[in-house]
Amino acid sequence: MPSQQSIGNYLIQKLYDYGVRHVFGVAGDFVLGFDKLLEESELQFVTTCDEQGAGFAADAYARMHGLGVVCVTYCVGGLKVANTTAQAFAEKSPVVVISGAPGIKERIKNPLLHHKVKEFDTQYQVFKQLTIDAVVVDNPETAFQEIDRVLRSAWQYKRPVYIELPRDQVLLPGNAPLQLATPSNQSDQEVLSEAITETVSLLNAARQPVILAGVELHRFGLQSELLQLVEKTGIPVAETILGKSVVPELHPSYIGIYGGAMGDEKTREYVESSDCLLLLGTFLSDMNLGIFTANLDPKHSIYVTSEKTTIHFHSYEGIRLQDFIEKLLQADLNCHEFTPLRPVKQWRTFTPIAGQKITVDRLFQKLNTWLSDDLVVVADVGDALFASLDLFIHQRSRFFSPAYYASLGFAVPASLGLQLANPAARPLVLVGDGAFQMTGMELSTIARYGLNPIVIVLNNGGYGTERPMQDGQFNDLLRWQYSQIPKVLGTGLGFRVTTEDELETALQESQAHTECFSLLDVYLDPQDISPTLQRFTRALGQRVKAG
């Protein structure tokens, strides 16, 4: 790097080196200088309707592409992406948050500058709690080195990071970073060897071993290795909700989603009766475990994540998930006999009944027969997520949802990030009307950039997830005429769907129309929910009543 390169251009070059090609955000005076550099660079600045939309888009871009970036102004922009950054941290998505800030010289004598909250470092202190690493770039002598460190943290730990750019530092030249030794990121080989030996012994002796695959296999790009392990050993594989689509779900060794009482009963029985359960990259969260209705016995479990390894009641320190799976693939493992459980979830054909009112169950029956290899399913929180757990995703890593942090409003802006990250994948967005009313107008951004997701709005007049737990007027929303939104935007196809034959027609026309987005406004009864959501809300309602 030339020693006189500006701090702003150095940051842009490093992002490019990490494979970033798009930056999502909203402009503001404290970040305009950096925005101009972005505009003049090889990165594309994607202006969204709102900062939260930018944050969700960057999160989805990171999940698909490896690293995402959101760029906003100080406080009024930065604090609006606090929620999306929290989600990225909770679900291990490597998002770089870049925020402009008042110049260092402007801060002398602590003036009351616009957008300031309490102290000049208030936003920095907030984001230190939401990220794995954070820096205020206020010293040209160390700026390059600090940028390198923070970006490396995002890449290594798959967590968000924060970079604050005071506006009078952006164009200053920085010094070439010192060539410091890179921190060791390798497993302790002796510990790894002992853990592998114990694991192999348990797997080979097991009568009914099962692999439970989780979200970290997505984040660390270990999908191929997982499939190799399944095919080498014959061990069947289930997924957690966050891990959905980590394997192609038409594979004969795939046995379904495991989510305690939320999941399929036969999948649950098979997993919970396993005498050796290998959990790889799995978060043991309440959502993944069916609001703790799961029954996983630690004395039959091998639990390996990027942060810890526990075999039965033994803990092993200093083991990387990647290294564990690699060594396990090299080990002398027995091949197990397994009879596929596919009959428990047979394909259901769909023949539309003319004039028959559409229901959640019938909607998703149709989608299961209609999904194609090129579609990426993006499910928002609510019945859009729970009903979609029964969808068979054809390709690996083609299902996205904030299934742990569970922030409404993810899906529509996420489709923007996903399609820019992979233009060959067409998003199928499943979103409730409550979530759509939060961020759905990012369809404007989607239209501006010529993208073509198919958006299905589950229009039931409110928050359907909450009604079975505790109903009241606080769950009600105005029913928009969602199918008319394309007229407002001047582009896109809109469909009002009330019956099964109308659904059939709308999906056919949407699939054929690739020039712009399509929006299906699917009218549902407010009390109509999926079987999965019925099980979930029953379990959650019991916990709410119990305090």
- Residue-wise pLDDT tens digits, 113-163: 888 888 889 999 999 999 999 999 999 999 999 999 999 999 999 999 999
Range of the domain at 69: 7-166
* β-strands 276-280, 301-304 pairing: parallel
Decide if 2 is inside a domain: no
Q: How many structural domains does the chain have? A: 3
E-strand ranges in 253-343 read 254-257, 276-280, 301-304, 309-311, 314-316
Looking at the structure, tell me whether residues 400 and 488 fall in a common domain.
yes
Residue with tokens 């009330």: 498
Segment 47-64 mean pLDDT = 98
Decide if 398 is inside a domain: yes
Segment 534-544 mean pLDDT = 69
Backbone angles phi, psi at 178, to 5 degrees: -65, 145
Decide if 175 is inside a domain: no
For residue 195, pLDDT over 90 is answered with yes
Of 401 and 540, the structure prediction assigns the larger pLDDT to: 401
pLDDT for the residue 32: 96
Contact 88, 60 (CB under 8 A): no
Looking at the structure, tell me whether residues 364 and 320 fall in a common domain.
no
CATH label of the domain that carries residue 215: 3.40.50.1220
For residue 85, pLDDT over 80 is answered with yes
For residue 292, pLDDT over 90 is answered with no
Decide if 287 is inside a domain: yes
Per-residue pLDDT tens over the stretch 164-187:
999 999 999 998 776 655 556 789
Looking at the structure, tell me whether residues 40 and 155 fall in a common domain.
yes
pLDDT for the residue 343: 47
pLDDT for the residue 183: 58
Looking at the structure, tell me whether residues 383 and 528 fall in a common domain.
yes
pLDDT for the residue 342: 58
Decide if 172 is inside a domain: no
CATH label of the domain that carries residue 12: 3.40.50.970
Per-residue pLDDT tens over the stretch 462-486:
998 888 878 899 989 999 999 999 9
Counting Cβ atoms within 10 Å, is residue 505 exposed (0-12), middle (13-18) or buried (19+)? middle
Among the three residues 299, 326, 344, which one is the final residue of a domain in this structure? Answer: 344
For residue 344, pLDDT over 70 is answered with no
Looking at the structure, tell me whether residues 281 and 297 fall in a common domain.
yes
pLDDT for the residue 180: 56
Among the three residues 276, 311, 344, which one is the final residue of a domain in this structure? Answer: 344
Quote the CA–CA distance of 448 and 406 in Å, as a whole number. 28
For residue 338, pLDDT over 90 is answered with no
Looking at the structure, tell me whether residues 43 and 129 fall in a common domain.
yes
Segment 508-530 mean pLDDT = 96
For residue 2, pLDDT over 50 is answered with no
For residue 541, pLDDT over 70 is answered with no
Amino acid sitting at position 243? G
Segment 188-215 mean pLDDT = 95
Segment 227-233 mean pLDDT = 96
pLDDT for the residue 112: 77
Among the three residues 319, 344, 369, which one is the final residue of a domain in this structure? Answer: 344
pLDDT for the residue 348: 61
Decide if 181 is inside a domain: no
Looking at the structure, tell me whether residues 424 and 451 fall in a common domain.
yes
Segment 362-378 mean pLDDT = 93
* Lowest mean pLDDT across 93-102, 159-168, 440-449, 471-480: 471-480
Looking at the structure, tell me whether residues 340 and 351 fall in a common domain.
no
Contact 231, 291 (CB under 8 A): no
Decide if 173 is inside a domain: no
Looking at the structure, tell me whether residues 351 and 322 fall in a common domain.
no
Looking at the structure, tell me whether residues 466 and 531 fall in a common domain.
yes
pLDDT band with cut points at 50, 70 and 90 for residue 4: confident
SS3 state at 437: helix
For residue 200, pLDDT over 80 is answered with yes
pLDDT for the residue 1: 43
For residue 293, pLDDT over 70 is answered with no
For residue 99, pLDDT over 90 is answered with yes
Contact 62, 93 (CB under 8 A): yes
Looking at the structure, tell me whether residues 160 and 197 fall in a common domain.
no
pLDDT band with cut points at 50, 70 and 90 for residue 246: very high
Decide if 152 is inside a domain: yes
* β-strands 22-25, 68-72 pairing: parallel
pLDDT for the residue 346: 52
DSSP letter for each residue of 249-272: TTSTTEEEE-BTBTS-HHHHHHHH
Looking at the structure, tell me whether residues 392 and 526 fall in a common domain.
yes
